[in-house]
Amino acid sequence: MAQTKTVYICQDCGAQSPKWMGKCPSCGGWNTFVEEIVEKKKPGAAAVNAAIGSQPLTLEQVTTEKMERIKVGITEFDRVLGGGIVPGSIVLLGGEPGIGKSTLVLQMALGMTHKKILYVSGEESLQQIKLRAGRLGMYGSNCLFLSETSLGNVLAQSGQVKPELLIIDSIQTLASENLESSPGSVTQVRECTSAILKYAKQNHVAVILIGHINKEGSLAGPKVLEHIVDSVLQFEGDTNYLYRILRASKNRFGSTNELGIFEMRGDGLREILNPSEQLISKISDDVSGTAVAATIEGIRPFLIEIQALVSSAAYGTPQRSSTGFDLRRLNMLLAVLEKRAGFKLLAKDVFLNIAGGLRINDPATDLAVICSILSSNIDIAIDHQLCFTGEVGLTGEIRGVSRIEQRIAEAAKLGFQRIFIPALNKGFDGSKFSIEIERVSRVEEVFRKIFG
């Protein structure tokens, strides 16, 4: 008979302790230990015999079958995964509450009319799912729906249906009858994911798991959850804005540099195939504090609008605020302007915003950031036909950036007349672009050419 015992498990990292601890020694989290009941099984002859499973083989003995990726019908989703979902793989989709995770996968499931899909929901009833599908205006006879939280029942029903794609919303709601802990605990999430992984590999079924986000912004559950799955996707964005971004933080079958952009509408999510036209407003010449940057996310170039506001500090300590841009990098750029270019900004408030609610990590946006800050400081508008790309160093030099030809081509396609690029970017023919290229090496050189 199996013996039971209780241990304390950290709900953030999965560390175990025989007694309760206020601070986790592994991850440093406070008040994260929860008492859970675990079973201690005695090893027997059956366990020894079960250990003798598959035999080791050489690579020459391994037979491979060419498996085509499953196209989900959403171009942005397929691009992030590297061309579609690999059969037998598990994709973990995480995001904040209300960001649109369930809407995305439901829209995906109802749009794949050529595949057999099983959609398991532990958070919504079948009636609620039908109401959501009615708002999307989509219905599909090939997609079966199941409202269930028992892991055993989910695997049993999936074994009978034999779907090509299994969607579980969400993994935190599933619970195994073999464990005494509550659904959503570290033990339940780990064991349920492991059981689903075994089922997916044995039956070559693609699985999409929806995961919750904790208060720190990372995926809830043990860190081992991200190691079990094949791909980890983050669906992010501000609920006050329309745009959503899909990023891959882990992908065993493709690149992690790709991203997909969606727009949240009343009838569901719409793909943004040309984000540059959506993210740049039609500004006039008399608006100061705006500049356009040519950036790249993954292999996709697009243009974004940088907005800056510089004003006299109303209080003793000036404010530094940034939305969509790293605040520490903003402080560094302000120090470069102060030290290398001679602009006094110590007693002024500086506010920076990336239009559209996007979050950009490309250092090539530095040049557009400092130009927008200076434009707002002296209240002189930048010509809306100008575009910028370049990384700013601590000495005030403008460092070279990658894929400069793609950035120039994107600016030329949208009708910009002139683009400022680093002088270090050489080795390409600029005459083939229908845009004037200005090569600059220092920040003060850019300021003289823009403002005279």
Indicate if 400 and 358 belong to the same structural domain.
yes
Is residue 444 assigned to a domain?
Answer: yes
User: Which residues form the domain of 203?
Assistant: 75-273
pLDDT of 281-298, one tens digit each? 655 557 889 999 999 887
**Range with lowest mean pLDDT among 4-13, 85-94, 312-321:** 4-13
Q: How many domains does the chain have?
A: 3
Closest CA relative to residue 294, chosen from 410, 152, 193: 410
Q: Report the pLDDT averaged over residues 432-446.
A: 92
Does the annotation list 184 as a binding residue? no
pLDDT at 227: 84
Beta bridge partners of 85: 70
Does the annotation list 102 as a binding residue? yes
32's CB contacts (< 8 A; 6+ apart) are 10, 11, 12, 24
What is the distance between the alpha carbons of residues 300 and 279, in angstroms, rounded to a whole number?
A: 14
Q: Report the pLDDT averaged over residues 400-418.
A: 91
Q: What is the CATH number of the domain that holds 244?
A: 3.40.50.300
Other beta carbons less than 10 A from residue 350's beta carbon:
23
The percentage of residues in the chain with a pLDDT greater than 90, rounded to a whole number, is 44
Q: Which residue has the higher pLDDT, 283 or 396?
A: 396
Both structure tokens of 114: 């050529």
Residue 53 has pLDDT above 70, yes or no: no
pLDDT at 1: 44
Is residue 417 assigned to a domain?
Answer: yes
Other beta carbons less than 10 A from residue 382's beta carbon:
23
Indicate if 235 and 319 belong to the same structural domain.
no
Residue 48 has pLDDT above 50, yes or no: no
Is residue 428 assigned to a domain?
Answer: yes
Closest CA relative to residue 35, chosen from 15, 14, 20: 20
pLDDT of 94-104, one tens digit each? 888 888 899 99
Q: Which residue has the higher pLDDT, 252 or 38?
A: 252
Indicate if 173 and 228 belong to the same structural domain.
yes
pLDDT at 3: 60
Is residue 52 assigned to a domain?
Answer: no
pLDDT of 124-168, one tens digit each? 999 999 999 998 888 877 899 999 999 999 999 999 999 999 999
Q: pTM of the full predicted structure?
A: 0.75
197's CB contacts (< 8 A; 6+ apart) are 90, 228, 229
Structural domain ending residue among the three candidates 273, 305, 330: 273
* Angle, CA of 96, 178 and 145, to the nearest 5°: 50
Structural domain ending residue among the three candidates 253, 273, 293: 273
Residue 277 has pLDDT above 50, yes or no: yes
Listed in order, strand segments (DSSP E) in 96-204 are: 117-121, 143-147, 165-169
Both structure tokens of 198: 């075994």
Does the annotation list 372 as a binding residue? no
Q: Which residue has the higher pLDDT, 279 or 18?
A: 18
Does the annotation list 95 as a binding residue? yes
- Inter-axis angle of helices 101-111 and 126-136, to 10 degrees? 80
Does the annotation list 185 as a binding residue? no
* Contact indicator for 145, 110 with CB cutoff of 8 Å: no
330's CB contacts (< 8 A; 6+ apart) are 320, 322, 350, 352, 369
pLDDT at 285: 57
Residue 432 has pLDDT above 80, yes or no: yes
pLDDT band at 325 (very low <50, low <70, confident <90, very high): very high
pLDDT at 73: 86
Indicate if 224 and 366 belong to the same structural domain.
no
Does the annotation list 98 as a binding residue? yes
Does the annotation list 100 as a binding residue? yes
pLDDT of 188-200, one tens digit each? 888 899 999 999 9
Indicate if 287 and 231 belong to the same structural domain.
no
pLDDT at 445: 92
